[in-house]
Amino acid sequence: MSLKSMLRGTAVATLLLAVPVLAQTAAPSGSANTAGQCEGRRGKHGGGHRFGRMEHRLDKQVAEGRLTQAQADSFKAEAKQLHEEMKAARAAANGQVDETQRAQFKERRKALKQKIRAALAPTQQGA
Per-residue model confidence (pLDDT) at position 34: 46
First to last CA, the chain: 71
Q: Using CA atoms, how far apart are residues 65 and 81, in angstroms rounded to an integer?
A: 25
Full-model pTM: 0.56
Cβ neighbours for 3, distance < 8 A, ≥ 6 positions apart? none
56-104 confidence digits (pLDDT tens): 989 999 999 898 999 999 999 999 999 999 999 999 988 888 999 999 9
Cβ neighbours for 51, distance < 8 A, ≥ 6 positions apart? 79, 80, 83
Among 83, 79, 90, which residue's Cα sits nearest to residue 115? 79
